[in-house]
Structure 1
């Protein structure tokens, strides 16, 4: 299992990025969460098989059609304690 904490900056709030990422994660069997940050970025914890995490990270660099991704930062992370992929409140 591979876990990554991701921060996405650009035009990523108000364009359906979180819902889109929920779909991407579910389609790839990932666990974790996604949330908006007060600074206008989106943060997510992605955990799953290495190839699936890599595929979702690649998709995150593009985002959904109305989004504009300027930067994506990723770092190693611990796996979430619970299974499934959820939306968390804004931090």
Structure 2
């Protein structure tokens, strides 16, 4: 349907994903940033002291769902053992997608 969005995907969402496994020191945050930017998402990927990476991504629900699927795909750098996600309405505040 040109010009209209009947999917309910118009309101931005915020995905918070804690990624467990061998995901630090292997290019995982850079890879995540690249995929997020390709999908038109904003946010950040941050190393946690316990070895996890915390990914926060905001944008269209379909794009965030796709990023989550990519995080779980087995095609990431390193090794992902588990991804624990939560969802909430988008809050804004991000410019681009950064690695921290």
Decide whether the 8 Å contact of 1:4 with 1:75 is kept in 2.
yes
CA RMSD of aligned residues (A): 1.5
Q: Which residue of 2 aligns with 1:23?
A: 34
Task: Between 55-64 and 40-49, report the one with greater CA deviation.
Answer: 55-64
2:67 matches 1:59: no
Task: Between 29-38 and 68-77, report the one with greater CA deviation.
Answer: 68-77
- Runs of 4+ in structure 1 deviating by more than 6 angstroms, as ranges, are none
Shift in alpha-carbon separation, 1:13–1:63, aligned structure 2, 3 A: farther
TM-score of the superposed pair, with normalisation by structure 2: 0.79
CA distance in 2, matches of 1:63, 1:7: 16
2:57 matches 1:70: no
Decide whether the 8 Å contact of 2:15 with 2:56 is kept in 1.
yes
Give the SS at the match of 2:85. strand
Give unpaired runs (5+ residues) of structure 1.
none
CA distance in 1, matches of 2:72, 2:81: 8
Give unpaired runs (5+ residues) of structure 2.
1-11
Q: Residue 82 of structure 1: CA displacement?
A: 2.8
Aligned length: 88
Please identify which structure carries the higher helix content. 1
